[in-house]
Amino acid sequence: MAGRKKRAARVSRGRTHPDGASFPVAPPRSELPRGYAKTLGEIKQRIQRERLRVVLAANSAMVVLYWDIGRTILDHQERAGWGARVIDRLSADLREANPEMQGLSARNLKYMRAFAAAWPDRRIVQRVVAQLPWRQNIALVELLDGDAHGVQYLRRLFQREPGFEVTSVHCHFTELRVPAETLG
């Protein structure tokens, strides 16, 4: 056994169970092997990246779901004449069926409808608009409400730029100026 380092016994808290189970205590950082801090940092960064990826994927899926719900409401309003009372009932029934879920208020269902009306092309929603948080999508829809030129401009931008991506989920829409030459 020459050349092998002698390992320190693991310290545990409390007494050891008769079948060998114990509650080990982490050793002090000064006793850890070289490179531990670097490995810890890499793992922490990976966890942060994956957590962000999961949050963004969940947000994207939720935005597409909200678009689908809005599209369904629009379709029924056009074909069956659904009105505000039906949306109120739909909201109550959806909240009863999904008590743990937020975002199913009548007001939010109306936002979903407006969102689907503003972005009729599901591919644009999936590729671009779903990268924004729901609250910012609503702000954008409200900003563009009644501004056909603004909506038209953004649709063209999203369709014309195949590589267009939202690079920050911290966008704030306060003013939209549409270049007149892009509308022609």
Structure confidence by residue, pLDDT tens digits, 155-171: 666 665 555 554 443 34
CA distances from 120 to 8, 16, 19, 62, 146 (A): 66, 64, 64, 17, 16
pTM assigned to the model: 0.67
> What is the per-residue pLDDT across 43-99, written as a single tens digit (0 to 9) for each?
999 999 999 999 989 999 999 999 999 999 999 999 999 888 999 999 999 999 999
Domain boundaries, the chain: 38-182
Rounded CA separation 163/157 (Å): 11
CA angle 150, 153, 158 (to 5 degrees): 125
Comparison of pLDDT for 58 and 7, the residue scoring more? 58
Q: Phi, psi (5° rounding) for residue 6?
A: -80, 125
- Return the exposure string of 58-69: e unless at least 16 CB atoms fall within 10 Å of the residue's CB, then b: ebbeebeebbeb
Rounded CA separation 118/141 (Å): 7
Percent of the chain's residues with pLDDT above 90: 43
Locate 141 and state its tokens: 């829809």
